[in-house]
Amino acid sequence: RESGLLTKQLGLGRLFLHARSLTFPEPGNGRPVTVKAPLPEALEETLKRARQ
């Protein structure tokens, strides 16, 4: 598969999937709760290699 070839070329042993943030209603009151996560180091390194 094309995506598998690109993954191998960039040295990433997984799909490049990441949720920067997720928002969902809080149980009970329905207010939105947002959880944010930084990009994992392995994905940061893959981006650096792709930009070279």
Dihedral sign for Cα atoms in the order 7, 13, 17, 21: negative
Contact 3, 13 (CB under 8 A): no
Which residues constitute the domain of residue 43?
A: 2-51
Per residue in 1-43, pLDDT (tens digit) is: 556 666 677 777 777 788 999 999 999 999 999 999 999 998 8
User: Considering its fold, how many domains does the chain have in total?
Assistant: 1
Q: Is the pLDDT of residue 44 over 80?
A: yes
pLDDT computed for residue 16 by the predictor:
78
- Contacts of 44-47 with CB under 8 Å at 24 or more apart are 45/11, 46/10, 46/11, 46/12, 46/16
Return d(Cα 45, Cα 10) in angstroms, integer.
9
Phi, psi of 38 (to 5 degrees): -70, 160
pLDDT computed for residue 2 by the predictor:
54
